[in-house]
Structure 1
Amino acid sequence: MLKHHSLKKLALATLLVVSSSSVWADTSLTVAQRQDPNSWDPIDTFLVAWSSAGGSLFDGLVLRDENLKLQPGLATSWEILEDGLRMRFKLSEGVKFHNGEDFNADAVKFTFDRLLGEEGAKGPQRSNYLSIKSIEVVDDHTVDFVMNAPDPVMLTKLAGYGAMIVPPKYITEKGDAHFNMNPVGTGPFKFKSYTQGDKLELVINPDYFGGKPKLDNLTYRFIREDATRLAELQAGRVDVVHDIAFSAIPTVKENDSIEIVSVAGPSIMSYQFNTKAGITKDLKVRQAINMAVDKKVLIDAFLGGYGTPIDSLQGKLSFGYDPDLKGYPFDPEKAKQLLKEAGVKPGTEITIDYRANNAAVGEISQAMTSFLQNVGLNAKLKPIESSVFLNDIVPKGKTDELFQFTWGGWTFDFDNTAYLIYHDGERWNPYGTSEEMNKLLEAQRSIVDQDERLKILRQVGQLAHDNAYHLPLYNEDTIYAVSKKVKGFVPAPDRRMRYLTTTVEE
């Protein structure tokens, strides 16, 4: 039999082991999202699915926080020189990429030379940065952006997507294809592994210049089916769902171990018109279709009320929003009259194209057929695989009369949306708009005075409305479903989560 003092020593040793294991046990968070971006190169994508994980891997010169305020990122400060034709950035010292490579002015120059060069031309991000003429290295920790013209949105752009700083030596030695699948940045988490279509595994960057994260491991799982993402959350195999289906919100609210966290976000849902072919060439038809849809019904039925009707392709948080813009009213009788004036016979067929991987959009598109049938149009649905839709059908102008247009609005500035969808020659504007629109869009990009810019952006919104290029539906709230084991969760309106302060209770 053990003596009393031996029992005390054993108990103390056991306590120390338990205490030590609880202190040193890895803390892991698993996040589920619908889409796998399929490349982790910042210049290859515009997808929110990339930025939600990419913000943990990469940093820009500027950081936009969860309150949408611009903060120093890899740049400690900046100043605008020469009436906006030169922007000077002072860079953080002592920062290293995950592979040990030094972050410095040469890395910034390499990043933007690459973005504005042949490699960047292959992706969708380059056109956001064409106001940059060149990058000049002043010294190891100072760079100048020499501008073709002043760009009042540049600082915001530098906080996202294509402007994330990448490692020159690593990319030069390994090549672009390797970098796509094995990313290296300066962010709070480092790449561990990536299985396309399945998951991305990250581990802590203990030397992160912005402060060591509280998590040791961060895993993103890519689960296309809404029901499966929810089931994995309910089973405890997932801690956070980034894009919970709105239809699942009531189920989540009934679960005592999960909560819904929502915040006003930038994402909008709309349909875009083919203005070159079919009955939607006619403005009256486009106006009629706008009047045929009850947006409030869609928001209540499919978003559970977590959204706001919109009359242009932006929400209230976006610079350029016009509270005085009067949208098309829900007026089925007026819609029928306009269709009759356009010579459209009752029963005329119209096709709606949409991305097949989003069940919610499929449901909304189905509801659209009912609204259109109510005014005499026989609407058919055509679900299209997402990559085909985004890389072939839309940019090459192969759509039917009406097609899905969803947009993240990640800059919270209407320029980023409006220029890319209304200016001639842009990827998301396959059917063109007008010379008047081109001039307005170009003019606001060269104006530093924000009040003057605001006036022009509101003119852009009005012109787009008058020509009914789109059927704007709603601005979504950004919704997260979060296990109550997760602590320190700070919702990002733009889904660019960084999880620096997050922990998980076991």
Structure 2
Amino acid sequence: MNKKSTFKTALKTFAVTSSLAMASLSFASTLTVSSPQDPGSWDPIDTFLVNWAAVATNMYDGLTYRGPDLKLQPGLATSWEQLDEGKRIRFTLREGVTFHNGEAFNSASVKFTFDRLMGDEGRKGPQRSNYAAIDTVEVIDDYTIDFHLKAADPVLLTKLAGYGAMIVPPKYIQENGEDFFNTHPMGTGPFKFSSYEPKVGIKLEAFSQHWGGAPKLTNLNYRFISEPSTAVAELQSGRVDLVIPPTIPIGMITTIEKDPNLTIATTISPTVYALRFNTRDGITKDERVRKALIYGVDRQAIIDSILGGQAAPIASFQSAISFGEDPTMKPLPYDPSKAMQLLKAAGIQPGTKLQIDIRGNNATFNEVSQAVASYLQVIGLNATIKPYETNVLLNDIIPAGKTGEMFQQSWGGWTLDYDNTAYFMYHTGEKWNPYDSDPELDALLESQRSITDRDKREEILKSIANYTSNRALEMPLYNLNAIFGVSKRVKNFTPVPDSRLRLTDVTVE
């Protein structure tokens, strides 16, 4: 070959290589998501926060998976069968799966995950009681594993799709320690951890070897923006592509819709809002007072005037898509006269003070709480609002029983089963129940967990909803739609009811 031919060949090779490189760059894409809260730890057993799941659903896999259609499907387990009248579940595991560091996934990984969850490490977090039905996990072979249950748990397969049940790498955790794992997570999901700056954000990158196929995005960045107006401004400027619930204030929906580069995507959500009562201290330990406060607030007017119709009233602390919701239950009506009668009967003097504790970063709920305080003033009470940083309220104030008479509780009920809400809100000794202890209610909550007959179990859950309503353990407010602010550059995005976004098919133009 002469020099001229050699030069032409080299030039052609360079052109092809450059073309491929440019093509690769053109398909490289980054999605930037605004999340209102840094969970503080990325360990699956450390949290119940929806904002954790909105990120970590992309880093981890469970044995089962629940997609945007809310139907359960195989995850790291390809199949399962219930044996021994529901007291044993045998899982067949997916072969050829690796964690992001190359560590093999197998039965030993599953056993390690659940031994850890049900052991000393799990006791430190809020997830352990959600899986209390699990007695032991037995390895049958590398890709077959049995869960032996203390009692049948009709919701367990759904629970295995999220939060504490995400499968973690044994060797990685043993070699690096628990504290390191909190800030350097490692799973088998479609995106792998890249970097984390507390209070600022977390960055992920595509894991091309994922068993479900490589994500279409190259990078997935989350920014923790607690101030709603800032998040919306960043969306408008193009520095953020997606704003997830519960950030978008109702009052800013119109602003986003008028922007030609943006859109609003909404869907029904399991998330409900309530003001729960301190049943141990102060005026709210009297049931008559609690009912008076509920009668004294026009929740429908709040939905119409503040929430722009993006919510529905609730009679119990669950949404219409929750298994156990009783459609025959009706919220207590707005009746200020009845409210004042009850307050008088309870010996409450006009001008009596009470405190409402809220999350300070939720602009919409701030408006709602102001409206509640105004309604309570009409019936003769002096309500003050005390905002907290979200993590402080959830981790330091509520669990320690240091709230005022009323405190904000929003709950996703992500299993779409009332048990996942009711047990943690009302059972004696649970983290979110710092004040109340009711043996009759405890017995009801415990009884439904071992019943596999769907109809019988539903009746018990409905009776729990009615029981808690009769005792007025909270002021049920509303079921809020999931509201997403989305750049029109984002394609193939599906708003999901539970905010557990798996973003493998999303692209950014």
Q: TM-score normalised by the shorter chain: which range applies?
A: over 0.9
Shift of 1:451: 0.4
Match of 1:172 among 170, 174, 196: 174
AA aligned opposite 1:210:
G
Which secondary structure state, in structure 2, belongs to the residue aligned with residue 296 of structure 1? helix
Tell me which residue corresponds to 1:321: 325
2:206 and 2:465 map into 1 onto residues whose CA distance is: 44
Which secondary structure state, in structure 2, belongs to the residue aligned with residue 84 of structure 1? coil
Shift of 1:210: 1.1
For residues 325-382 of structure 1, what are the alpha-carbon distances to aligned partners after superposition, in whole Å with 9 as ceiling and x for unaligned? 1221111111111111111111111111112232222221111110101111110111
AA aligned opposite 1:372:
L
Tell me which residue corresponds to 1:95: 97
Which secondary structure state, in structure 1, belongs to the residue aligned with residue 444 of structure 2? helix
For residues 26-57 of structure 1, what are the alpha-carbon distances to aligned partners after superposition, in whole Å with 9 as ceiling and x for unaligned? 11110001101111000000000100000000
AA aligned opposite 2:405:
E
Tell me which residue corresponds to 1:406: 410
Which secondary structure state, in structure 1, belongs to the residue aligned with residue 494 of structure 2? coil
In terms of mean alpha carbon deviation, does 427-436 or 407-416 score higher? 427-436
Tell me which residue corresponds to 2:4: none
Tell me which residue corresponds to 2:57: 55
1:387 and 1:86 map into 2 onto residues whose CA distance is: 37
Tell me which residue corresponds to 1:156: 158
2:322 and 2:243 map into 1 onto residues whose CA distance is: 25
1:310 and 1:367 map into 2 onto residues whose CA distance is: 18
1:420 matched to 2:424? The reply is yes
Paired residues of 1:249 and 1:304 also in contact (CA < 8 A): no
1:397 matched to 2:401? The reply is yes
Tell me which residue corresponds to 1:204: 206
Match of 1:111 among 100, 110, 113: 113
Q: What is the TM-score of this pair, normalised by structure 2?
A: 0.95
Tell me which residue corresponds to 2:366: 362
Tell me which residue corresponds to 2:220: 218
1:28 and 1:450 map into 2 onto residues whose CA distance is: 44
In terms of mean alpha carbon deviation, does 288-297 or 22-31 score higher? 22-31
Change (3 A) 1:167 1:16: closer
1:337 matched to 2:314? The reply is no
1:388 matched to 2:392? The reply is yes
1:375 matched to 2:379? The reply is yes
Change (3 A) 1:14 1:190: closer
Shift of 1:294: 1.3
2:479 and 2:162 map into 1 onto residues whose CA distance is: 21
> Superposition RMSD on alpha carbons, in Å?
1.8
Match of 1:126 among 122, 125, 128: 128
2:433 and 2:461 map into 1 onto residues whose CA distance is: 18
In terms of mean alpha carbon deviation, does 309-318 or 292-301 score higher? 292-301
Tell me which residue corresponds to 2:76: 74
Shift of 1:21: 3.6
Tell me which residue corresponds to 1:280: 284
Which secondary structure state, in structure 1, belongs to the residue aligned with residue 432 of structure 2? coil
Shift of 1:426: 0.7
1:311 matched to 2:331? The reply is no
Tell me which residue corresponds to 1:267: 271
Match of 1:188 among 187, 190, 199: 190
1:492 matched to 2:502? The reply is no
For residues 87-124 of structure 1, what are the alpha-carbon distances to aligned partners after superposition, in whole Å with 9 as ceiling and x for unaligned? 11100000000000000000000000000111110001
- Pairing 1:285-304 to 2, within 5 Å after superposition: 285-304=289-308
Paired residues of 2:270 and 2:319 also in contact (CA < 8 A): yes
1:393 and 1:23 map into 2 onto residues whose CA distance is: 48
AA aligned opposite 1:140:
D
Tell me which residue corresponds to 1:38: 40
Deviation beyond 6 Å, 4+ runs, structure 1: 12-16
2:61 and 2:373 map into 1 onto residues whose CA distance is: 43
Q: What is the TM-score of this pair, normalised by structure 1?
A: 0.95
Shift of 1:22: 6.5
2:104 and 2:249 map into 1 onto residues whose CA distance is: 42
1:14 and 1:125 map into 2 onto residues whose CA distance is: 53
2:26 and 2:256 map into 1 onto residues whose CA distance is: 32
Instruction: In structure 2, list runs of 5 or more residues that go unmatched.
Output: 1-7
Shift of 1:247: 2.2
Paired residues of 1:352 and 1:400 also in contact (CA < 8 A): yes
Paired residues of 2:313 and 2:331 also in contact (CA < 8 A): no
Paired residues of 1:74 and 1:91 also in contact (CA < 8 A): yes
Shift of 1:400: 1.3
Paired residues of 2:228 and 2:361 also in contact (CA < 8 A): no
Shift of 1:447: 0.2
1:19 and 1:82 map into 2 onto residues whose CA distance is: 57
In terms of mean alpha carbon deviation, does 66-75 or 342-351 score higher? 342-351
Paired residues of 1:57 and 1:184 also in contact (CA < 8 A): yes
1:466 matched to 2:470? The reply is yes
Which secondary structure state, in structure 1, belongs to the residue aligned with residue 269 of structure 2? strand
Shift of 1:127: 0.7
Change (3 A) 1:14 1:175: closer
Shift of 1:24: 4.5
1:247 and 1:58 map into 2 onto residues whose CA distance is: 35
Tell me which residue corresponds to 1:257: 261
Which secondary structure state, in structure 2, belongs to the residue aligned with residue 56 of structure 1? coil
Shift of 1:396: 1.7
1:242 and 1:281 map into 2 onto residues whose CA distance is: 37
